[in-house]
Amino acid sequence: MEAIFFNGWSVLGRTLLIGVLAYVSLVFMLRVSGKRTLAKMNAFDLVVTVAIGSTLATIVLSKSVALAEGLLALALLIGMQFAISWSSTRMPWLRRVVTGEPRLLLRDGAMLDDALRDARVTREEVRAAVRSAGIGALGEVAAVVLETDGSFSVIAGQPGAALSSLDGVK
């Protein structure tokens, strides 16, 4: 019969030992790979961060995964993240594939309906971003950009005034 609340001291001891070793190993790997490994700069980075967390949980809690196998999986995820981020800084086409491009959703106080539809963003979400930026009216906004990490950048000011700073925005 399977225990619901307590499986024995040996199981707790294994979880404690494996948890500490996996955590220390992960911290070491992250320090070696650099700060960019866990930066949430775009959706790709977020997926890798979630995968690393899921892998760590599996290592700690699953008896069927040996520590060496789990550490190899972590090293593989971190290594692939490093390789992709390193390569994408040197190959613009890869950067576009992995991260996408920022998207202009509002210009000079007017919503760009085609851009909203393509980005699957509602007018209400843009209005909420404008309010979060402390601006009361769309007419006070030069631009709203959907960034590659899914956040909104709201550029306040006279319509048309700030648009020269939107290099690289589609």
Quickly tell me which residue has 């979400």 as its tokens.
125
User: Above pLDDT 90, what percent of the chain?
Assistant: 55
Quickly tell me which residue has 């490994």 as its tokens.
37
Query: 166 with 154: CB under 8 angstroms?
Result: no
Q: What is the average pLDDT across 29-36?
A: 84
Q: Please give the pLDDT value at position 161.
A: 57
Tell if the pTM clears 0.75, that is, is over it. no
pLDDT at 165 over 60: no
pLDDT tens, residue by residue, 72-127: 999 999 999 889 888 988 998 888 888 878 999 999 999 999 999 999 999 999 99
Residue 36 DSSP symbol:
G
From first CA to last CA, the distance across the chain in angstroms is: 60
